[in-house]
Amino acid sequence: MNNEYRDVIIIGSGAAGLMFAVHIARNHSVDIITKDAAFESNTRYAQGGIAAVLDIRDSYEKHFQDTMKAGAGLCDPLAVQVLVQEAPARIYDLITAGVDFDKSGDHSLEFTREGGHSDRRVLHVGDMTGQAIESALLKTIQDPHFDIRVLDHCTVTQLIVWNGTCFGVEVLDSTGKLRNIFAKTIFLATGGAGQLYSDTTNPEIATGDGYVMAFEAGAKLENIEFIQFHPTVFYKPPAPRFLISESVRGEGGILRNAQGERFMPDYHEMAELAPRDIVSRAIVAEMQKTDANNVMLDIRHLGCKFILKRFPTIVSTIQTFNIDPVTQAIPVAPAAHYFCGGVKTDIDGRTTIRGLYAGGEVACTGVHGANRLASNSLLESVVFAYRAAVNADRFIRCYQDDEMKRVRKNIRHVTSKYSDNKGKIISEKDIATLRTQLQANMWKNCGIIRSFKSLDEGLNIISNLEKQFRDLGGNATLTIKAVELKNLLVLSKLVLNEARARKQNAGTHYNVDCDTPTLFRNYADRKEGHS
């Protein structure tokens, strides 16, 4: 197996990975490893915006309190304080990189409001904010002064850890061959794992690879039972699920049930702008009550001119499925969206393994607690990726070259888990079948509403799927799809076990067998007359 050496390896090319690269590459050689094309990441699909206190009528304290409240009090106060106070500096970094946030008539930055926010503090670039940020950062890393290689269509199969320190990665490259790349620092920025579920806003590549490679290397995971389901995702089978940004409700969109009734004021004082976990459960309750598969998001009252200007991408996409949001309500239902937990880090991005940093959705910085506040995700990515880069730069500068020499000397101890696998190879058809069964199981048994019985059933099904995977030759198959399925199987069991272990409801984790929810009223107590 070929061995290569760099200063830094970044796994993932979303906002966190690219922000880390921009700052660390000023002094060090960098490899960015990405499973697909460099532009394909969860960041690209983040429509709504990025939150920051930049208006004198707003305050850090209000952003802090909104974040803590949305996270059901389980957020790390220090991490949240860092997030809100360092947000303005990172926003100006993005502007410098070329992100052209929308402006108002007087050319000042334009803010919108999203669920859980007490003020209008969300900056946006139309309804394509994530794509604009990613494009600007991708352009920035092309600076000829940087020594950056982008290795696309490559999959990291495992982290190389020796004597408690992460020294590199094993990579399945685009030719189907394994190679080792060694480095002084590894930054994990692999995104989320929406593909655990049959209904998700995430792209096909979001298979939880980073969580699993970190776990298998011995890193600590935290809060992975807290999975956020976005309340408003386009629903018109067989059309693909499509995110309808939180900002649509922030600008005045109204949710109505199958009978045309507005219902969110019956569930929370903030109505459509309640935190996402509450809105998602309210939608499920209304669908069950009316025996429907979806509810309707109504924006017709906002007017044609405003709708077309503010949400051009959303409108054009929905129109391809013969629904015009200007004249018709939009059918929506919740879908898996965001992991609130992940690989545990401190506020400088350090994991529990020396030399391994993490940022973005794969990391658990403590910011989100039990539920993410809207538009804090892109912010978390850039704030903590910057801090990680600063810390990693110091780590590399203090690095003892003898360490890498010892690794080179003991290279024979670094073995691939695939090196001795010789046997039958699982077919792509079997991989697709098992993946579909896994996703259906997680949706049914570990979704928006859970029970101890459903979680136990989910664990039993995953055990059976694992056995089928092994018997069909999955562990001996060195393909991207086989690696992804293996990771989904490992992660699903971890999530189910953590959900099973939690005995109290909080945020996105809602078990009907645990404490009675206080944020919902019985149907008999529903107030009439809301419009």
Burial (CB count <10 Å: 0-12, 13-18, 19+), residue 279: buried
CA dist., res. 150 & res. 127, Å (int): 28
Domains in the chain, please, with CATH? 3-225+340-409 (3.50.50.60), 232-335 (3.90.700.10), 428-501 (1.20.58.100)
The yes-or-no answer on residue 387 being catalytic is: no
Structure confidence at residue 398 (pLDDT) = 87
Structure confidence at residue 358 (pLDDT) = 98
Contact 462, 521 (CB under 8 A): no
CA dist., res. 442 & res. 315, Å (int): 31
CA dist., res. 516 & res. 514, Å (int): 6
User: Residues 6, 113, 249, 276: which is the catalytic one?
Assistant: 276
Nearest to 137 by CA among 20, 50, 48, 10: 20
Nearest to 49 by CA among 75, 87, 106, 97: 87
Structure confidence at residue 422 (pLDDT) = 62
Nearest to 493 by CA among 456, 450, 468: 456
CA dist., res. 35 & res. 153, Å (int): 5
Structure confidence at residue 402 (pLDDT) = 75
CA dist., res. 441 & res. 454, Å (int): 9
Contact 265, 255 (CB under 8 A): no
Structure confidence at residue 421 (pLDDT) = 55
Return the H-helix or E-strand segment holding 232: strand 227-234
Structure confidence at residue 42 (pLDDT) = 67
Could you list the mean pLDDT of each consecutive 10-residue stretch along the chain, which spans 531 residues? 84 95 95 86 73 94 95 95 98 95 87 87 87 93 92 94 91 88 96 96 94 97 96 93 88 95 94 91 93 96 92 91 95 96 98 97 97 93 98 90 71 62 83 98 96 97 97 90 96 98 93 66 33 31
**3-class secondary structure, 227:** strand
Task: Cis check for the bond before 265: say yes or no (omega within 30 of 0).
Answer: no
Backbone φ, ψ for residue 105 (5° rounding)? -60, -30
Q: How much is the pTM?
A: 0.91
